[in-house]
Amino acid sequence: MINIKNLKKLTMVFLMLVLALFHRQAAFAGTVFGWPTPGSTGLYSGFGNGHYGLDIAADSGSNVYAAAAGTVQVVYTGCKNFDGAKKGHKPCRELGICSPSKSFYKDGFCNSAYGNAVMLKHDDGTWTAYAHLTSVASGITVGKRVNAGDLLGISGSTGRSSGAHLHFEMRTGGGEGESFWLAKAFDPLTRVDTNSSFVNNVPAAPVQKVFFTYFEGIGDINGDGRLDPLDSLLILKNTVGTCRLNEEQKRRADVDGNNVVDSMDALGILKIAVGLAEVR
């Protein structure tokens, strides 16, 4: 017999996933956000699984712009560029390349791992953060009002970084100043207009797709030879306990490869099904 309470919970989770996938800027009344690095639209990694933003494949030295008008709340400086991947991902403090003493550290990484960074508070209460910068632009100071498209800094590899890229983060809630850390992070792709042209008057290309590593049967939970919302629904049922996946189904369900079958795998399958992600 179907447990009505679990069924309601499952339905709610499924609807939330669908809304998260298809929600775009038009659904929000308020600030319009543009892409912070026109010309650099590839993603090294997306939002989720403990990662609070997007890692945009911006080469070292790329300009980083404000995604929308707002007020500068936090500015981090004083960190040196380094390639963590080539140094075994050791903290920069351990390697002796963090500076100066005014920078503060988390697990040995400069400025709580964000490196040189700028955090803006926007008129609708949303935060944006731009991290791992080589340098912050002249004139970008706490309290300064910036417009969409204003230069914030130059991309690099400071803080906890394995190579040059821009960590772009969005949060909502919290208060002013350092309370950025109290605000709740969400997927920037649900708010950013990836086709916007107002940033530096340079049209931004659509964001490149997220890619999942291929393995036999990936995502095909029900074994019908295709990926569709029914596969995603089976994962959600397993998550809330209304059905139990066997070992082979669990193997196929772990599309993000973190050895845990959860709602993020269900979302990944939905993205593949509608063409926002590919398997290769």
Same domain, 229 and 265: yes
Give me the amino acid identity at 66. Answer: A
Q: Are residues 40 and 148 in the same domain?
A: yes
Q: Does residue 172 share a domain with residue 51?
A: yes
pTM check: above 0.75: no
219 and 186 share one domain: no
DSSP 8-state symbol, 232 = H
Q: How many CB atoms lie within 10 A of CB 135?
A: 16
What's the confidence (pLDDT) of residue 131?
93
In a domain, 24, yes or no: no
Q: Are residues 90 and 194 in the same domain?
A: yes
* CA 111/CA 106 separation, integer angstroms: 7
Confidence of residue 23 (pLDDT cuts 50, 70, 90): very low
Average pLDDT score over residue span 103-118:
67
The yes-or-no verdict on residue 33 having pLDDT over 70 is yes
36 and 160 together in one domain? yes
Domain boundary among 201, 230, 262: 201
Domain count within the chain: 2
Whether residue 40 is contained in a domain is answered as yes
Task: Say yes or no: 120 and 236 in one domain.
Answer: no
Contacts with 216 (C-beta within 8 Å, 6 or more apart), sequence order: none
Q: Do 14 and 49 fall within a single domain? A: no
Q: What is the pLDDT of residues 146-185, one digit of tens each?
A: 998 899 999 988 877 777 889 999 998 876 655 888 888 8
pLDDT digits (tens, 9 = 90+) for 230-256: 888 888 888 888 889 999 998 888 887
Q: How do beta strands 277-279 and 210-212 pair?
A: parallel
Measured from the Cβ of residue 273, the count of other Cβ atoms closer than 10 Å reads 18
- CATH number for the domain spanning 161: value is 2.70.70.10
For residue 68, what are its two tokens?
């929308």
**Strand spans (E) along 166-247:** 166-172, 184-186, 210-212
Same domain, 40 and 116: yes
Cβ 68 vs Cβ 162: under 8 Å: no
Domain membership of residue 26 (yes or no) is no
Q: Are 142 and 64 in contact (CB under 8 A)?
A: no
Among 5-9, 214-218, 262-266, the least confident range: 5-9
Q: What are phi and psi of 243, to 5 degrees?
A: -155, 165
Residue 61, sorted as left (phi over 0), alpha (psi -120 to 50) or beta, turns out to be left
Asked if the structure places residue 252 within a domain, the reply is yes
Q: Residue 235 is part of which domain span?
A: 4-19+210-279
Residue 25 lies in a domain: no
In 3D space, the residue among 79, 91, 68 whose CA is nearest the CA of residue 135 turns out to be 79
Return the structure tokens found at 148.
């969409």
Same domain? 103 vs 40? yes
- Candidates 6, 14, 8; CA nearest to 263 is 14
DSSP conformational letter for 54: E
250: CATH: 1.10.1330.10
* Helix spans in the chain (H): 4-22, 92-95, 229-240, 247-253, 263-274
Does position 198 have pLDDT exceeding 60, yes or no? no
